[in-house]
Chains A and B, each alone.
Chain A
Amino acid sequence: MSLSLPWANRDNAEEPFRGTPSGFGLFTMIPKPRLAVFKFASCDGCQLQLLEAEDRLLEIAAKVEIDHFLEARSQVVPGPYDVGLVEGSITTAEDAERIREIRRQCRFLVTIGACATAGGIQALRNWGRIEDFVSSVYATPAFIDTLATSTSIADHVPVDFELRGCPIDRGQLLDLITALVLGRKPHVPGHSVCVECKARGTVCVAVAKGIACLGPVTQAGCGAICPAHDRECFGCFGPSESPNLVSLTGFYEHRGTPRHTLVRLVRSFNGYAPAFRAESDRLEAKST
């Protein structure tokens, strides 16, 4: 059985691919998929969710062939693989090459987490001069091999599906793996965190407490844990479908939140996701 990947023979053309993950149409049952986990610039937290699956970990291990997972096992089976889970962002020329090779090796490529899907917190460098970043941490900047930017995997190769989050949600990851084994669509909502707050009966922190909260424009998936802890959503899961950031930040600014605080709020773990990036740039341009 073969998957019809539109770019299977594309051999990864030189121009960077930028587009939405191709998504559901590709899901076909793979009886015992060969799974590989790859890491780029990141904290390990997303791939850790696989090991966090504790009681279900051994169950998963029986359903898939874990062929490449450096953090968990010494055995490395060479590709090609049915499914590649990619954590982390692209920050070096070598990694930009490595992801192309991984794309060639994986029939189905899934990015996991804010670094892989949006460049991560390290994408803050994209707004500064890289020389300043390097020299502020390292005494001999010349030795540091790094790109000026931290970018998402989809900026470099086609991506079939993405799991958002900083970190990703364990339940969504398990659902994705189950979906692959069964050949069905994964259940990943596109609606905002607000829906989750309503579902769990959390009083709106923006309305009731005057807290500038990104819940209305952030994709659900975390379970709305931050508002439930009396604090703002700070956008771990990135922009929801059709977010209206201009309206939201305008409301908060009108109500008294300083504009530079709003810039920082939008410019964090998913700050380089296109919708968030456009808004923090717009707010900043207004200030100058």
Chain B
Amino acid sequence: MSTIRRFSVKSLTRVEGEGSLRVRVVDGAIEIAEFSIYEPPRFFERLVRGREVREVPDIVARICGICPVAYQVTACEALEKTLGIAVTPDIRRLRRLLYCGEWIQSHALHVHLLHAPDFLGAESGFTLAATHPDLVNRGLRLKSIGTRMMEVIGGRAVHPINVTVGGFYRSPAAADIRGLLPDLEWGLAASLEMITEVSRFDFPGMPHDYDCVSLRPAAGYPVDEGRIVSSRGLDVDVADYERHFAERQVPWSTALHSLTVPDERPYLVGPLARVNLCHDRLPPLARRAAESCGLEFPLRLSAQSIVARAIEIAAAFEEAVGIAREAVAEIAPCRIDYDLRPGVGCHATEAPRGLLYHRYEIGDDGLIAHANIVPPTSQNQAQIEADLKAILPTALVLDDAAATHACERLIRDYDPCISCATHFLRLAIER
């Protein structure tokens, strides 16, 4: 007689959005390890169809309240390519500063309030505040600086209103950007220290040779542009994304997984993938801090993503300090005009959680005819499940509560943004 053991985490906590985990073990063999999504889909790719080009950045922002800038900037760049226009270096720098703000607030939230409790034995940032007040307060301050950057440049932190196809509705005042400098300099110093601190955490789990995938630009650390590179030697233009990666259905799950094609393997996107592929591109202070901790790349434990995030917070601050120091005047023009014309264009950027790909088609009527959006969490889903299957034999020695805790921790390492992915993933229904 076979014995079937089931356990599930009905509601994953300390992740953005709501998801669950289901594991079924039959006679000791793992049959299902499914990181599933119970958030209902919102059909964003359909929602933008028939809308005006200028409405797209505002609509796609609503995919995610935590990384709206990633969606806005990717959409703008993709639509600018479709329209055959290029923005000025000033506009590009301002977008990059805005994007740095989003990285800082998103990473600072995850590192201090969502992830650190796992390493320090707390159930949340609220309880951590009692035992490690300095750490939590630093996290809250770092996050508030990122938020402030988004407000100064984007007009609002959650769903900025100043980002548009062609640039910005209005240039922020140079004095306001330079006014950020004292906080940015403090943030840089604090985040450099943080790298040392989190690199001393104890990292559980099994090392993996991840197939890391990220952008790699001609110069600098990947944020808003670059070619797509991987640990296995891929090096292609973003226009070829859909030839090398595809969303697939697996027999035991109704969740879509992004896999590499043609070899159909999971891959890793996000902070860990970026530092592994582009640590040579980190700005000098962040790179030196990472090196002085004795980190050896590639980092091979998913839990070390907290170190990758800390490094990236420092890198974002370092870059932001450089951009803010150079802000001497309002940028003019702050927006490049365009004529509507039919066409197709795509772009990818590095959202806080990893590579984000958008493709749009503008129809003869000048409205959006088609959209394809692949968020980072749906790309990581296959890798998360592969990692779960790898740790389950060890975890299953534990009782259900401890085993689910271990699995939940692993999922949290990825900082999955279920709100983003949900709109593109199938719901998992057992039939």
Chain A interfacial positions (CB closer than 8 Å to B): 39-46, 48-49, 51-52, 54-55, 57-58, 61, 66, 70-76, 91-92, 95, 120-122, 124-125, 128, 132-134, 136-140, 143-146, 150, 166-167, 222, 225-226, 228-231, 234, 236, 261, 264, 268-269
Is B141 in contact with A54, judged by CB distance below 8 angstroms?
A: yes
Is B64 in contact with A44, judged by CB distance below 8 angstroms?
A: yes
A-B contact count (CB 8 A): 177
Of the A-B pairs whose beta carbons lie under 8 Å apart in the complex, a sample of 28, sorted by A's number, is A42-B419, A44-B17, A44-B64, A44-B419, A45-B68, A45-B158, A54-B141, A54-B147, A55-B144, A61-B129, A70-B11, A71-B13, A71-B16, A72-B126, A73-B14, A74-B14, A74-B124, A120-B62, A121-B62, A136-B46, A139-B249, A143-B426, A144-B41, A226-B155, A228-B170, A229-B155, A229-B169, A229-B170
In the bound complex, CA of A128 to CA of B47 (Å): 10
The DSSP consensus for interface residues of chain B is loop
- B52 contacts the other chain (CB 8 A): yes
- Which chain A residues lie closer than 8 Å to B157 at the CB level? 52
List residues of B (111-141) whose CB comes within 8 Å of A's CBs.
113-114, 117, 123-127, 129, 136-137, 140-141
Is B58 in contact with A234, judged by CB distance below 8 angstroms?
A: yes
Cβ of A84 to closest chain B Cβ, rounded Å: 16
Is B42 in contact with A91, judged by CB distance below 8 angstroms?
A: yes
Given A43-B419, A76-B13, A92-B40, check contact A231 B123 (CB 8 Å). no
In the bound complex, CA of A51 to CA of B136 (Å): 12
Cβ of B244 to closest chain A Cβ, rounded Å: 20
Cβ of B133 to closest chain A Cβ, rounded Å: 9
- Which chain A residues lie closer than 8 Å to B114 at the CB level? 72
Is A132 in contact with B11, judged by CB distance below 8 angstroms?
A: no
Cβ of A108 to closest chain B Cβ, rounded Å: 22
- Which chain B residues lie closer than 8 Å to A43 at the CB level? 62-65, 68, 419
- Which chain A residues lie closer than 8 Å to B164 at the CB level? 231
Partner of A167, one of B65, B144, B429: B65
- B290 contacts the other chain (CB 8 A): no
Partner of A61, one of B17, B126, B162: B126
* Interface core residue of B52, B58, B254 (most chain A CB under 10 Å): B58
In the bound complex, CA of A46 to CA of B62 (Å): 11
Is B14 in contact with A71, judged by CB distance below 8 angstroms?
A: yes
**Interface pairs A-B: 5 shortest CB-CB:** A45-B65, A73-B124, A54-B144, A122-B42, A74-B123
Partner of A225, one of B14, B140, B161: B161
Is A226 in contact with B161, judged by CB distance below 8 angstroms?
A: yes
- Which chain A residues lie closer than 8 Å to B391 at the CB level? none
Chain B: which residue is nearest A71 at the CB level? B16
